[in-house]
């Protein structure tokens, strides 16, 4: 049975966090992948290098997938990312566009989780 695009997107993120970044890019991304992260040039290699550098600096990074939505060629994944275990972390939405079950485009938007939020519903 083929994996859904939603399962592919989640697999990519989990492999990235488990420090298998090069393998994740080889398995899940297209050679023509681009991204929209404002802190790196828009090519896949620059983002891959940024992820490698981030994991060298924050080796205990974790991800907790909260939900994923698939609609056609797009997948949105809402997750809780912690760079360090003792920190509240970041609420992140990754948006992926697929072609032929490979990631060809990616966006990510994050919001730091405040330690003392007045919102009793929580961030998730």
pLDDT digits (tens, 9 = 90+) for 32-66: 999 999 999 999 999 999 999 999 999 999 999 99
Mean of all residue pLDDT scores within the chain: 95
Kindly indicate the confidence band of residue 2, based on its pLDDT and cuts at 50, 70 and 90. Answer: confident
In the chain, what percentage of residues exceed pLDDT 90?
Answer: 93
> What's the pTM value of the predicted model, to 2 decimals?
0.94
DSSP 87: S
Structure tokens at 119: 């919102």
Angle, in degrees to the nearest 10, between helices 21-28 and 5-17? 160
Residue 1 has pLDDT above 60, yes or no: no
Return the SS3 of 28.
helix
Give the pLDDT confidence score for residue 70 in this predicted structure.
Answer: 98
Residue 101 has pLDDT above 70, yes or no: yes
Residue 90 has pLDDT above 60, yes or no: yes
Q: Give me the torsion for CA of 79, 80, 84, 87, rounded to 10°.
A: 160
Q: Which fold has domain 5-112?
A: Nuclear Transport Factor 2; Chain: A, (3.10.450)
Residue 116 has pLDDT above 60, yes or no: yes
Radius of gyration of the chain, Cα coordinates, nearest whole angstrom: 15
By DSSP bridging, strand 62-71 and strand 29-35 are unpaired
- Ramachandran class of 122: left when φ > 0, alpha when ψ lies in -120 to 50, beta otherwise: left
């Amino acid at each position: 049975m083929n994996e859904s695009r939603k399962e592919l997107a989640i697999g990519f993120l989990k492999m990235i966090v488990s420090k298998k970044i090069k393998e994740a890019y080889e398995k899940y991304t297209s050679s023509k992948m681009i991204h929209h992260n404002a802190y790196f040039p828009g090519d896949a290699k620059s983002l891959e290098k940024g992820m490698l550098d981030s994991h060298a600096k924050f080796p205990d990074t974790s991800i907790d997938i909260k939900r994923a939505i698939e609609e056609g060629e797009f997948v949105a994944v809402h997750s809780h990312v912690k760079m360090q275990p003792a920190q509240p972390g970041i609420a992140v939405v990754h948006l992926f566009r697929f072609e032929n079950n490979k990631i060809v485009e990616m966006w990510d938007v994050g919001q730091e989780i405040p330690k003392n939020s007045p919102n009793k519903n929580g961030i998730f």
